[in-house]
Amino acid sequence: MNQFVVSARKYRPATFDTVVGQSHITNTLKNAIKTKHLAQAFLFCGPRGVGKTTCARILAKTINCRNIAENIEACNECESCKSFNAGQSLNIYELDAASNNSVDDIRNLVEQVRYAPHSGEFKIYIIDEVHMLSSGAFNAFLKTLEEPPPYAIFILATTEKHKIIPTILSRCQIFDFNRIQVEDIATHLEYVSRSEGISAEADALHIIAQKADGALRDALSIFDQIVSFAGTSITYKDVITNLSILDYDYYFRVTDDLVNGNIPAILLLFNELLGDGFDGHHFINGLGSHFRDLLVCQDVVTIPLLEVSKNIRERYKEQAAQTPPILLLQLLEICNKCDLEYRSAKNQRLHVELTLIRMCTTANGGLPATTHFPVYEKKNFEVVNQSITSISSSSSNIITKVVEKEVLVKMETVKDVFQEPIITISKVEVKEGVSDEFEQKTSAMKPNAKVLDTIQETILHKSPVSATARLGGSLLKGTSLNALSKIAPVKEEEKSIHIDELPVDKIDNERLQKVWEDFALQQQREKKIQLFTTLTMDKPILLDEKTIELVIHNQSQNNLLQEEKQNLMDYLRKQLNNFHLQLITRIEERAGTDDVAYTNKERYLKMVEKNPDLEEFRKQLGLELE
């Protein structure tokens, strides 16, 4: 029985030209050999399995070759090359720093450096995983690395360059190895499969190349594993089954269902994936990568960034043409949020399902395409479907526009899947009493007193007809069209009021001060102390019959006042019976006083003015201002 040799060793490159995906390194080394500009120390760094140690061995072999070919490759015929190929060269030493990392190990190495080569021109020392050396070993190695004998060359290899002390780095020529591209790995796997007499689908080799994450050694190990599983014929199905990889087809199906608004199909597909043993977090990350690839396909310039086979690339192009870029950006943002919150979620399955539903509603303008509003036709009534953007709704929440003779009412009831319900009542015009049929239609529904009060106030206090009342949370429970049926009768002369016709009573400073003080005391009773202080620090000034000016003393007060401005103006207009009142604010800092309310940032800047060293102290600690 012949001993099996893994592909990573059997097909290990023996010349510079056979190194995969590192041409920028091999060309530099060949030119250095050709011009005899060889450094005393090389540092090869990069990810695992990309050819660092292989290039070190090829370099060591080529340097001592006595008959270097015109393409700067070893001849494999001279005594030095033969001894190297047989593993018996006395001029090339390999040291594993992971297991020989003490000061004594380095001292033994330095002792060997003192002796000239037995044959050949150079002695080459390859130290693998050099970052594992202790600090004492690094320091013991410094002098020899800086001033080695003319016949000694050191080649250091590491996957973690940041762990090597700067004094070592400064004494070496540093070569950074790149992750090998998917296409290069797939091409090399195709060569290996042909050499082994194995038939392999291109899509299957691409999946192996992607799974290797830029490491050719990993790709060859996976290839051996698939060969053991599938035999001499490797198919795409064999690879995704053996490696437990989600098929591209799943993501294409999910994207199609998202665009079509088919929530049930998406949830069933996710359930199928969970049943097959796939992790929800892995699925979300893969879906995000799929959206990224679709976004890449939007422009012909960025299509080369798509690392898939030709067949899959055509499917990406086809689906990308049907998916707007702005939608893909929104879906990517939702995916990223789900990824960040997944680990902390108590119910991770529900978390992913809600994410998929949110994606579906986003893709369909806020409403799943499979959700339809019913249409009703009654005598003297017309119920019209209306679209909702950026809000998802269950089929039980109906957007209605009811028209009945002289009564025009537009009422919108919206319930977000993830939030409390919100009701918007707008454009209320009452010309006649509500008809018997309309009252009979809504009498069975329980009225909401607070909504009723809002509607009555909108009409009775003669607010603009297009005014909107927005209520949220628990106030809306039980809200229905019945609220409109209880509106008190309105006189004929009040039914159509323009904003210019609203009352504008004359007011004076004394009356203004009284109403202003009442509002301030009301804020004090409600424990809004900062607002109370802002309102009472200076008295308002009546500039004319429509304009009130208030002097404030910092930006913090101004921000607070802007938040409560609408409530303040509503109160003043109602109490003073002047619906054209406007409030303007003027910031005027007090001179010679320190009793002004500052924000945290303002306080800090004041402290820095007195002591500039405070800012330098903040920078040294890496603190940030909120």
Cα 128 to chain centroid distance, Å, stands at 37
118 pLDDT higher than 80: no
What pLDDT, on a 0 to 100 scale, did the predictor assign at position 42? 93
Q: Mean of the pLDDT values across residues 122-149? A: 88
User: What is the per-residue pLDDT for 6?
Assistant: 87
Q: Check pLDDT > 50 for residue 389.
A: no
Looking at domain 7-176, which of 2.40.400.10, 3.30.390.50, 1.10.3210.10, 3.40.50.300 is its CATH number?
Answer: 3.40.50.300
Res 290 pLDDT > 50: yes
208-241 per-position pLDDT tens digit: 988 888 888 989 999 999 998 888 888 888 888 8
- Which SS3 state, helix, strand or coil, does residue 406 take? coil
How far the first Cα of the chain sits from its last, in Å, is: 72
Rounded CA-CA distance 591/553 in Å is 10
For the record, the structure tokens of 222 come out as: 């996976």
Average pLDDT over residues 353-363: 89
**pLDDT tens digits for 556-614?**
888 888 888 888 888 888 888 888 888 888 887 655 444 556 677 777 888 888 888 88
Extract the tokens encoding 114.
């003192």
Q: What per-residue string of b and e applies to 366-388 under the rule 16 or more CB within 10 Å gives b? A: bbbeeeebeeeeeeebebeeeeb
Give the DSSP H or E segment for 152: strand 152-158
The model's confidence at residue 501, banded by pLDDT at 50, 70 and 90, is low
Q: 182-242 has which fold?
A: Helicase, Ruva Protein; domain 3 (1.10.8)
Q: Is the pLDDT of residue 384 over 70?
A: no
Residue 403: partners with Cβ closer than 8 Å, 6 or more residues away: 381, 382
Residue 431: pLDDT above 50?
no
Which pLDDT score, from 0 to 100, does residue 176 have? 92
Radius of gyration of the chain (CA): 39
pLDDT for the residue numbered 376: 33
CA distance 490 to 194: 90
Contacts 24+ apart (CB under 8 A), 72-76: 72/16, 72/30, 72/31, 72/33, 72/34, 73/15, 73/16, 73/17, 74/15, 76/14
If we measure between CA atoms, which residue out of 176, 131, 127 comes closest to residue 156?
127
Name the burial class of residue 92, with classes exposed (0-12), middle (13-18) and buried (19+) by CB atoms within 10 angstroms of its CB. buried
Q: Could you state, in order of their start, the residue ranges of all structural domains in the chain?
A: 7-176, 182-242, 248-363, 377-501, 509-587
| Least confident window among 224-233, 347-356, 379-388, 592-601 | 379-388
In this model, does residue 357 exceed pLDDT 50? Answer: yes
Least confident of 200-204, 259-263, 456-460, 461-465: 461-465
Average pLDDT of 299-315?
82
Residue 246, phi-psi category: left (phi > 0), alpha (psi -120 to 50), beta (remainder): beta
Question: b/e per residue, 540-573, with b = 16+ CB within 10 A?
Answer: bebeeeeebebebbbebbbebbeebeeebeeebb
- Beta partners for 332? none
Nearest to 91 by CA among 119, 66, 113, 110: 119
The predicted-structure confidence for 75-98, as pLDDT tens digits, reads as follows 888 888 888 888 888 888 888 888
pLDDT-derived band at 45 (thresholds 50, 70, 90) equals very high
Q: How confident is the model at residue 304 (pLDDT cuts 50, 70, 90)?
A: confident
Q: Does domain 248-363 have CATH number 1.20.272.10?
A: yes
Pairwise pLDDT comparison (494 vs 54), residue with the higher score? 54
- Residues with Cβ within 8 Å of 124's Cβ and at least 6 positions away in sequence, in order, are 59, 60, 63, 64, 91, 92, 93, 152, 153, 154, 155
Kindly list the distances between the CA atom of residue 235 and the CA atoms of 204, 205, 215, 249, in Å, as whole numbers in the listed order.
6, 9, 22, 15
Q: Regarding beta strands 152-158 and 123-128, do their DSSP bridges make them parallel or antiparallel, or are they unpaired?
A: parallel
Tokens of 251: 């993501």
Mean pLDDT to the nearest integer, 351-367 = 84
- Spatial neighbors of 13 by CB under 8 A, at least 6 apart, are 19, 20, 51, 54, 58
Tokens of 191: 């060569």
Q: Are 345 and 248 in contact (CB under 8 A)?
A: no
The identity of residue 493, as a single letter, is E
Give residue 498's pLDDT. Answer: 54
On the 0-12 / 13-18 / 19+ scale of CB atoms within 10 A, 52 is: buried
Indicate the burial class of 14 (C-beta count within 10 angstroms; 0-12, 13-18, 19 or more): middle
Q: What is the mean pLDDT of residues 253-280?
A: 88
Is 69's pLDDT higher than 50? yes
